[in-house]
């Protein structure tokens, strides 16, 4: 029995009950791989890539913080910001990162503002990394692409 994955943000439902054989997600302290029959789990998510794999398809998403619950072969991911990897644009990501860096340099930040700045910077850096990865590796790693059959 495959896993069913639902991914939502405060703004929208990204995927609903997507059947997958395997899911890898960026927990706060490292990546976690979820397979059918996994023990119940509740974890916080950091910034990184959610990778899903089924027999004929790979789907990847950039997640920026959130929570995940695994129970009874169902995975629910609640994220602040989740984008399909196919939506990442390297030039736009680099521009956004530069804007975040510039905003942090133009003023003195208190403790809370500095923590928020570091969070935004981490998100921007990860988005640039993943946009570069998908640009260099081409469509084989893009979401919603069929894996080549052997």
pLDDT tens-digit profile of 20-44?
999 999 988 889 999 999 999 999 9
Q: For residues 33 and 105, what is the distance between their CA atoms, to the nearest angstrom?
A: 38
3-86+138-146 to CATH, choices 3.90.850.10, 2.60.15.10, 2.40.30.10, 3.50.50.60: 2.60.15.10
pLDDT digits (tens, 9 = 90+) for 49-88: 898 888 778 888 888 889 999 999 999 999 888 888 777 7
pTM (two decimals): 0.71
Which is more confident, 71 or 106?
Answer: 71
Task: Quote the DSSP letter at residue 31.
Answer: E
Residue 123 CA from chain centroid, whole number: 10
């Amino acid at each position: 029995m495959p896993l069913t994955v639902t991914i939502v943000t405060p703004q929208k439902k990204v995927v609903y009950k997507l059947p997958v054989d395997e899911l890898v997600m960026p927990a706060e302290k490292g990546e976690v791989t979820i397979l059918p029959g996994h023990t119940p789990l509740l974890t916080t998510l950091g910034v990184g890539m959610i990778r899903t794999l089924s027999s004929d398809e790979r789907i990847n998403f950039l997640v920026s913080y959130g929570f995940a619950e695994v129970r009874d072969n169902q995975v629910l991911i609640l994220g602040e910001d989740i984008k399909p990897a196919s939506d990442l644009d390297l030039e736009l990501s680099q521009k956004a990162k530069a804007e975040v860096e510039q905003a942090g340099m133009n003023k003195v930040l208190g403790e809370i503002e500095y923590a928020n700045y570091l969070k935004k910077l981490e998100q921007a850096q990860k988005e640039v990394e993943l946009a570069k990865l998908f640009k260099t590796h081409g469509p084989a790693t893009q979401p919603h692409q069929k894996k080549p059959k052997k």
